[in-house]
Amino acid sequence: MRANSNNTEENKALTLMIFGATGDLTHRKLLPALYHLMAEKQLPDETRVIAIGRRDLSEEEYRASVRQSVARHSRSGVDETHLEEFINALSYHQMEFVSDPESYQGFKKRLEKIEKNYTQPAVRLFFLAVAPEFFGVIVSHLKANKLAVRRNPDHRVMIEKPFGSDLASARALNAIISDALDERQVYRIDHYLGKEMIRNILALRFGNSLFEPLWNHNYIDNIQITASETLGVEGRGAYYEQAGILKDMLQNHLLQMLALITMEPPADLMPESIRDEKVKALRALRRYETTGACAEIALGQYVSGLINGESVPGYREEKDVASDSVTPTFIALRANVDNFRWGGVPIYIRAGKRMNKRCTQIVVEFKRLPGINYYPEFKNQPPNLLVIEVQPTEGIHFQINAKRPGNGFVVDQVEMNYAQSSRFQGNVPEAYEQLILEAYRANSSLFTRWDELEQSWQFVESIERNCQPDSHHYPTYSPGSQGPERADLLLKADGRAWHEIELRTENIIKKGSSH
């Protein structure tokens, strides 16, 4: 059964216009995603892609660069016939989209000419894969030139993150955008919402009778959301100095995961119903309003050291990073969703760069039994765990206690595993494929609505305002570790511990048992 799709959309033609034709995101993610969508016939036959860039490139030069990027970054190799079909549907348009407002009229003529040849009404999908300071300018020009007309649901704009650099700038950007477009024409990207296992959270919660009755403070002890990366800032020091882990990961990806895990069941699966529930969860998220509240937060910065035998620089030694920078590259926190369902259940979040493993996982730890039959000693009782592994491999694991086979009666921890990565090997679309497809289908549930974003900014700003460590005693951690010691102490103070960052699905695949 497909949820959330709007079939009438699927007959429409599509013109996808990418601002930022030569950028990294376009070449690494968008063009390979479009190639796969077209090769798999997910988009209408009448699809045209116009890549818009400021560089003076010929059509042939641009197409040659696209061939290379698709071959390098495609998730499962390239079929020459499909690649040629894709290249034929693609064109390059050179224009000074920031400094020359007049150039939009020339572009409009080209677009209208393309649209005249369609046999069906067309969707205009503008993808802004440019530096964030250009988002507002481009949207204003699209409005002024009637390329995107307010209240026309077929005119849609996809906007990359970051949406603002703080609450005030996000509000200012939103004011420009909402002057040009209706909220339902705006598709704010959080690429985590396009990831398979993140999309699976709602199916798991609301498609099974098993979990939802237990999904509350009566049965759940705590939830742990981890997004650990082994990479450092990878040449993006200048951006990262402004963003830090709070704006780069927490404000968007991590809070979106939290919202999906904690939200109430929506009345239906329509985008607005889902987003209504997500925003309520984010609103219930307790802010860090006092310095005392900051005891629930551990920040840190990686220093130089070895990771997988390779020596790497510390954050303060990275290019474009200040030598006394206080930008955090790690955060662990205890979040509290103050509503009836979650009162008293800590939601621990941690994320960091240069950690020991690349892994995004959500661990739901259920409450322990009273200790009457098995495990009379309460503290030794292994809890039931539900682990949603988002990446690098995808899977769902349920840890239960069962009798070990043989004489005697020993109760052991065992896992029921669903290793999605082995069941659907090679066929799992990348996040951007899903995002582009769903924007074409007008399914905005995979995109962040303005009020969600506003709540997320408020939460993050409460941390920034109140919880800055002293620059001289900035907590650090070694590359290849699980973050600073304070992250462990945070849970220890609550009588708990972090669950291992474990690549469960990968281990199962290696052992050769699929699901």
Question: Which are the catalytic amino acids?
Answer: 253
Nearest residue to the partner ligand BG6, using Cβ? 248
Please tell me the distance from the alpha carbon of residue 314 to that of residue 476, in angstroms, as a whole number: 10
Nearer to ligand BG6, 37 or 233 (CB): 233
| Three-class secondary structure of residue 15 per DSSP | strand
CB of 184 to ligand BG6, least distance (A): 24
Residues in the chain: 515
What token pair was written down for 163? Answer: 């949406």
β-pairing, 385-391 with 359-366? antiparallel
Please tell me the distance from the alpha carbon of residue 203 to that of residue 32, in angstroms, as a whole number: 27
Neighbours of 376 (CB within 10 A): 11
What is the x/- site pattern for ligand BG6, positions 381-420, by CB under 6 A?
----------------------------------------
CA atoms within 13 A on the CB side of 229: 14
Q: Look up residue 446 and give its DSSP letter.
A: G
Please tell me the distance from the alpha carbon of residue 53 to that of residue 96, in angstroms, as a whole number: 8
Cα 507–chain centre separation: 24
Residue with token string 């705006």? 186
248 binds ligand BG6 (CB under 6 A): yes
CB of 245 to ligand BG6, least distance (A): 9
Nearer to ligand BG6, 248 or 454 (CB): 248
Report phi then psi at 280, rounded to 5: -65, -40
Please, which of residues 163-192 interact with ligand BG6 by CB under 6 A?
none
Please tell me the distance from the alpha carbon of residue 323 to that of residue 303, in angstroms, as a whole number: 12
115 binds ligand BG6 (CB under 6 A): no
229 binds ligand BG6 (CB under 6 A): yes
Could you give the residue ranges of the DSSP H alpha helices within 343-449? 420-423, 431-440
What is the x/- site pattern for ligand BG6, positions 142-161, by CB under 6 A?
--------------------
Nearer to ligand BG6, 248 or 389 (CB): 248
241 binds ligand BG6 (CB under 6 A): no
CB of 313 to ligand BG6, least distance (A): 17
Gap between the terminal Cα atoms of the chain: 22
Please tell me the distance from the alpha carbon of residue 18 to that of residue 368, in angstroms, as a whole number: 52
What token pair was written down for 443? Answer: 């399914």
CB of 98 to ligand BG6, least distance (A): 22
Nearer to ligand BG6, 92 or 240 (CB): 240
Please, which of residues 340-369 interact with ligand BG6 by CB under 6 A?
360
Nearer to ligand BG6, 221 or 229 (CB): 229
CB of 356 to ligand BG6, least distance (A): 16
Nearer to ligand BG6, 277 or 394 (CB): 394
> How many residues contact ligand BG6, by CB under 6 A?
3
Query: What residues make contact with ligand BG6 under the rule CB under 6 A?
Result: 229, 248, 360
